Chains A and B, each alone.
Chain A
Amino acid sequence: MLSDDTTTTTISHTFAKYNAAATIYLIGPMSLIHVFRVYRTINDSSKSAMYRKIILIPVLLSQSTLMVVIRYDEVHGIWHYLFTGLTFVLLIIYHNTIIGSCPKGFNDLIIAQKSKLSFMSATSMAIFGIMQISHKHIQKDRIAWDSVCVLEIIAVLLLGSLDIVDTYYFGLFINSR
């Protein structure tokens, strides 16, 4: 359990403690982003139809696994870690394979930007995971606990910034026609 003398907490603990509020709030933004990802996948003209269909599977799966992650109040322990890791990996796979609709000549730039952000996000998440597993009583060490919480936030923000990159180039594409 989270100690009472600190307001710093992980995203998972927030899911557990305020599950109803988190579910009600997050279902909207996550659905909008999911529709965007599906649209980007289906309309990626640089990939073959078969390739797009294959990548659509991890995109659809990531939404299901995310729903399991949000239910941390009921799904604990190894299953929570497994589904969190799976969601993260599936989204990284999507972001590093799908370019989507973008102005001509921007493909290489998008891939370069996304691979850098993905690397930083994966590194932050890996350090967060390793520290959580390796320190049994990490919550008692205030500095270490605050650090891992901030690392988790940074990892998720970087993952979200991949969608911002997508959105930015999609906006450019709309204007370029």
Chain B
Amino acid sequence: MEDACEREITQRVMEKSIYFGSVLGTSLFLIWVAWMPLLQVCVCVCACAVVDGHGDGV
């Protein structure tokens, strides 16, 4: 029972890490691609919209 609970926690922590890693990775990549300041602002807004309210359920 304890093992199952520990596995579940590990799984959720890993999911959360991958979620925030992907937000960070995609944002950094798109900010580099979008050389125009306006596009960079759009990328930041999109990344904030994705993060806002999601992925915090561990």
Contact = CB atoms under 8 A, between A and B. Distances in A.
Interface of A: 11, 25-26, 28-33, 35-36, 39, 101, 153, 156-157, 160-161, 163-164, 166-168, 170-172, 174-177
Nearest to B58: A174
A174 B15 contact: yes
B24 to A, nearest CB: 6
Contacts of B41: none
A168 B47 CA distance: 9
A48 B27 CA distance: 31
B54 to A, nearest CB: 3
Interface residues of B, number: 31
B22 A174 contact: no
User: Would you list the 10 A-B pairs with minimal beta carbon distance, nearest first?
Assistant: A32-B25, A171-B54, A36-B22, A29-B28, A171-B55, A29-B29, A33-B25, A29-B25, A175-B57, A32-B21
B30 A31 contact: no
Contacts of B47: 164
B9 to A, nearest CB: 13
Interface in B8-58: 12, 15-16, 18-19, 21-30, 32-35, 39, 43, 46-47, 50-51, 53-58
B3 to A, nearest CB: 19
Given A153-B39, A157-B39, A177-B57, A163 B22 contact: yes
17 contacts: A26-B32, A29-B27, A29-B32, A30-B25, A32-B24, A32-B25, A33-B25, A33-B29, A36-B22, A157-B33, A157-B34, A157-B43, A160-B26, A163-B22, A171-B50, A174-B12, A174-B16
